[in-house]
Amino acid sequence: MNIALLIAGGAGNRMGQDIPKQFLHVDGCPIIVHTMQCFQKHPDIDAMAVVCLKGWETVLQAYANQFSITKLKWIFPGGNTGMESIHNGIYGLKGEGCVDDDLVLIHDSVRPLLSQDIISSNIAICQAYGYAITGIQCREAILESEDGFSSNRSIPRDTLIRTQTPQTFKLGNIIDVHEDAKRKGISDSVASCTLIAEVGGREMHIVPGSEKNIKVTTVEDIEILKALMHTSKEEWMK
């Protein structure tokens, strides 16, 4: 079974709005519903689970019903950190009877422009290699700074990958990673890919991402999202 696990446990404080960013409406639809629709229409996704901010579970289910998100099967409680929310999601799936060989596509609930091709590639790469991480090769010049104000060091960009989601794993494998993290005292890694790197001993494979696969974090991101939703490739472009 291929399962999309959406992480929606955060309050979105950086957005500075009165409701969590995943529930903000864009084009008459909550951002999280736009995201769920990406998986709803993909033929190889069998089910969805959402790790949801406490107190918003009923709202989430109501929106899923309203927008015909029939693949939503489970809602799990959010954690205090992103890592804890992912932990709750994967162990929740295990508790619901999902098996170790099930594929889990862990995805930010506020990346609503995920393409069908990226979903397909995540499934294929994970089936072939066990660990699939969506990412884009870095194009910008990178400086390292301790204070965010000054710098005298650069980092070569040729080997740098900007990661996105989905990040896809066999359920048994990602649970093993979290068990290793417990033993090593790692409790607040920023993403599944960084957790795997910190735990060590596993090779991740990169799935080509997209600049359109943005994560909505700030008000400016909402403006970019709206622009991307209402544009299309020029016919003359190859």
pLDDT confidence of residue 235:
83
As given in the structure block, the two tokens for residue 218 are 């700030």
* Reported pTM: 0.95
Q: Tell me if 184 is assigned to some domain.
A: yes
Q: Residue 112 pLDDT more than 80?
A: yes
Q: How far is CA 176 from CA 6, 100, 173, in A?
A: 20, 10, 5
In the chain, how many domains are there? 1
Each residue of 116-143: pLDDT tens digit? Answer: 999 999 999 999 999 999 999 999 999 9
Q: Tell me if 187 is assigned to some domain.
A: yes
What distance lies between CA 220 and its chain's CA centroid? 20
Q: Which helix (H) or strand (E) holds 72?
A: strand 72-77
Q: Tell me if 35 is assigned to some domain.
A: yes
Q: Tell me if 234 is assigned to some domain.
A: no
- As a whole number of Å, the end-to-end CA separation of the chain is 36
pLDDT confidence of residue 184:
97
CATH, residue 111: 3.90.550.10
Q: Tell me if 235 is assigned to some domain.
A: no
Average pLDDT for 213-219: 96
Paired residues of 136 in beta bridges: 162
User: What's the domain range around 76?
Assistant: 2-229
Each residue of 138-157: pLDDT tens digit? Answer: 999 999 999 999 999 999 99
Q: Tell me if 160 is assigned to some domain.
A: yes
List of E strands, 109-231:
131-137, 142-144, 153-155, 161-170, 205-208
Q: Tell me if 237 is assigned to some domain.
A: no
Query: Residue 6 carries which side chain, given as an amino acid letter?
Result: L
Query: Residue 101 carries which side chain, given as an amino acid letter?
Result: D
Paired residues of 135 in beta bridges: 163, 208
Each residue of 74-109: pLDDT tens digit? Answer: 999 999 999 999 999 999 999 999 999 999 999 999
pLDDT confidence of residue 14:
73
